[in-house]
Structure 1
């Protein structure tokens, strides 16, 4: 398995963990934590090379669409 696939799996695992603790009335601190995580990972998507995107199974357009989403949109 390549390094980027490992990173993708790790990020996916973190997203799953974050999602398991969420409820409809999530505390503001966990909501802001989720927003920060989204902002950070979306920014990272915009900085990946074509080879890295290919490794994680995304096209440049898919990465761009996700990367430019506002942090408050899921």
Structure 2
């Protein structure tokens, strides 16, 4: 099973970016996305360090709520 995490782009550095979700910041690769690449403030789905698709903010927020519920051991 594959798992992707929606992350918000914080800054761009060529073909790489820094993105964050739920207090975690990671450097990610943008090379699998078509150009133009996302801008700071945009959300992307990240899998093993690569942005694999753009996602809207609503989906990202819903996913983060579910992650937090799972971590807390309760239903959302």
Q: Which has the higher helix share?
A: 1
Query: Greater relative contact order: 1 or 2 (C-alpha under 8 angstroms, separation 6 or more)?
Result: 1
Considering only CA atoms, is the larger Rg found in Structure 1 or Structure 2? Answer: 1
Q: Could you say which structure has the higher strand fraction?
A: 2
Q: TM-score, normalised by structure 2?
A: 0.28
